[in-house]
Each structure stands twice: as C-alpha cells, then as structure tokens.
C-alpha cells in the first residue's frame, strides 16, 4: 500500500472508530463482588445440571447396553463407572469443577452406576484406580477388566484397598454427553453421543431409552458404513439413508423393551418433536418424516407386545435369503 493510501486508510479507520454508536441510557452499576458471586451461582448450576444429565445417561444407557449384549456383535467388559479429570470440562468451568466436583488432573471416579459391579463392590465417587501404584484413566482400566474376576486397587483419601470386582459384558458402544442446546443424538459406530438439549427434551427414562436404543441399533446394524457406501454410490442421494433410520427405530424399540423399559406411548416423542421442528412433518431428507416414524414405532410396539404375550424371544424379525 502506498504512503498516501496508508494515510487515507488510517484517517478513514479513525473516523469510523470515533463515530461508533453508543448507548443512550445510563446503565446501573454492578460491583465486581456481586458479579463474581453470580458467576459462581451459575457455574454451580451448570455443573449440577451436567452431573444430573451424566448420571441419567449412565443409568439408562448402561441398562440398554447390558441387556442387549447378546445381540451386539462387539462387546466389552464394564464395571459401571465414569472417570473424569478437570480436562473433561470446558476451560471456563475447570476451576468450578475442581471446587464443586473434586476434579483434578488425576483421574478419579466421577459417577457409579446403580446396581453395577462397581456399586456392589463398594466403589465410590472420588476413588482413584491404581495399577502398579499409579493412577489410571478409563483406557488403562478397560485393559485391566479383561480378566473374569478383577482385583482392583483403589485409593480413597490416604488409604489404599483392593476390591474384587466381577465385570459385566455389555455392548461396546460408549456413551457421550455433549453440551449443546440442539435436540440431537447420533452414533459413529463406536460411540453414542447425546446432547444436553436431548436430555432435557426427553420427558421420561423410557423416551431416553428409545433414543439410546435407536442409536445403539445404528452401531450394531453397521449403518454408518452402509450409509457412507450408499451416499457414494448414489451420488449423495439422501433418500438412501432413510431406510436405516426406520430400521434403527424398529431394532431400537426391541432394545429398550429388552432392557425393561416401558414402550407405552413412546412414539408420542415424535409428535412433541414436530412442535419444535415442524418442517420434518412432511419433509424427508436424510431422515423419514415424523408421522412415518410415529406410526412405524407404534406398529413395532404391537409386534413386540405380541411376542411378549406369546412367550416368544424378543428378537427383531431379520430378513432371510428369500427376502433379499
């Protein structure tokens, strides 16, 4: 930029800054002390909500994963704990997580699922798992759970103790909570992620179980691989993804009932969702329309209830070679 142009640019920039609009009223003053106190209140509320959502996701999700291990092609050993460190929290909330949740840079037990092997063994929030005297996170703990009965050393405060724990076999999918106001849940073949918006929108554990069963079905039925293949072969025609959504609704309903959840009226979830996303009532893109999902889930429930009444195994009706 030439020197005259540089001067002109600087003058224009200065005039714009001088001319920036300002407020027309005198705003009330607030003290730094009051601002900090209110920040702590909101931090604590946010963390308490996240903790409640995480505990509910663990409780309902683990029940789904455990009850359907026999139908999952890939499984893992599990004792029913969530381990955390301060880095699991947004940077802005890490000080609050230390203060309110006891999170540090050392991995420790955050949550223990009810009626899980960990709960029965007496493992508590705040316990630290030790291997060769060193604190370990979830990956190292998972490796240690491969034995049928696992002697686990934990540190509780200044005391070390060894507990005998018998892990459960559950579906391999891992549960993830994502802070987001979007009403959404999704699977990637290995994980099931649920937003805080979805956790808030589901009115019962039965509805949450319906959603988790749906996402688990995406993983167990190999939908991610099939969807990618169909999109490539079809030139990204999204209509070829919709059948997999319907199949996940169908298989997912079996998963939730097998886990002991009540399917009565759970399809009403889609009517409520239509209130906040009316475009999907009559528009199908990557997913079927809400009315189609509502009716098919209701029909699947009748199929499941009929099998229950007849004493038949609660297994989805898979295609045979003649159907192909």
Parallel, antiparallel, or unpaired for β 150-156 and 159-165? antiparallel
Tokens 């290995």 map to which residue? 190
Parallel, antiparallel, or unpaired for β 150-156 and 128-131? antiparallel
Domains of the chain, start order: 75-170 (2.30.42.10), 173-323 (no CATH)
Would you give per-residue pLDDT tens digits along the chain (324 residues)? 554 555 555 545 555 555 678 889 999 999 999 999 999 999 999 999 999 999 999 999 999 999 999 999 999 999 999 999 999 998 999 999 999 999 999 999 999 999 999 999 999 999 999 999 999 999 999 999 987 777 899 999 989 999 989 999 999 999 999 999 999 999 999 999 999 999 999 999 999 999 999 999 999 998 777 666 555 445 555 555 677 889 999 999 999 999 999 999 998 888 898 888 765 544 445 566 888 888 999 999 999 999 999 999 999 999 874 454
The CA dihedral of 224, 173, 133, 100, to the nearest 10 degrees, is 100
Whole-number Å distance between alpha carbons of 295 and 147: 45
Whole-number Å distance between alpha carbons of 78 and 75: 9
Strands (E), the chain: 75-78, 81-84, 108-112, 128-131, 134-135, 150-156, 159-165, 168-171, 174-178, 185-187, 191-195
């Amino acid at each position: 930029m030439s020197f005259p142009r540089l001067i002109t640019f600087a003058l224009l920039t200065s005039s714009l800054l001088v001319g920036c609009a300002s407020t027309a009223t005198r705003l009330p003053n607030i003290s730094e002390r009051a601002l900090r106190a209110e920040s702590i209140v909101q931090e604590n509320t946010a963390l308490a909500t996240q903790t409640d959502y995480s505990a509910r996701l663990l409780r309902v999700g683990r029940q789904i994963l455990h009850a359907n291990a026999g139908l999952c092609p890939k499984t893992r050993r599990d004792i029913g704990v969530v381990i955390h460190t301060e880095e699991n929290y947004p940077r802005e909330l890490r000080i609050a997580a230390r203060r309110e949740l006891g999170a540090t840079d050392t991995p420790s037990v955050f949550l223990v699922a009810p009626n899980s092997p960990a709960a029965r063994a007496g493992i508590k929030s705040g316990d630290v798992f030790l291997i060769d005297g060193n604190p370990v996170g979830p990956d190292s703990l998972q490796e240690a759970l491969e034995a049928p009965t696992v002697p686990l050393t934990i540190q509780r405060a200044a005391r070390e103790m060894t507990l005998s724990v018998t892990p459960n076999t559950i579906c391999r999918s891992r549960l993830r909570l994502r802070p987001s106001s979007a009403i959404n849940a999704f699977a990637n073949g290995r994980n099931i992620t649920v937003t805080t918006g979805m956790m808030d929108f589901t009115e019962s554990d039965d509805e949450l179980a319906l959603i988790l069963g749906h996402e688990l079905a995406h993983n167990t039925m190999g939908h991610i691989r099939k969807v990618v293949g169909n999109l490539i072969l079809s030139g990204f025609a999204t209509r070829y993804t919709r059948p997999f959504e319907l199949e996940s609704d169908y298989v997912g309903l079996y998963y939730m009932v097998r886990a002991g959840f009540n399917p009565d009226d759970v399809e009403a979830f889609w009517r409520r969702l239509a209130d906040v996303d009316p475009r999907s009532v009559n528009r199908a893109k990557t997913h079927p329309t809400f009315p189609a999902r509502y009716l098919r889930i209701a029909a699947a429930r009748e199929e499941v209830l009929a099998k229950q009444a007849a004493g038949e195994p609660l297994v989805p009706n898979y295609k045979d070679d003649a159907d192909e």
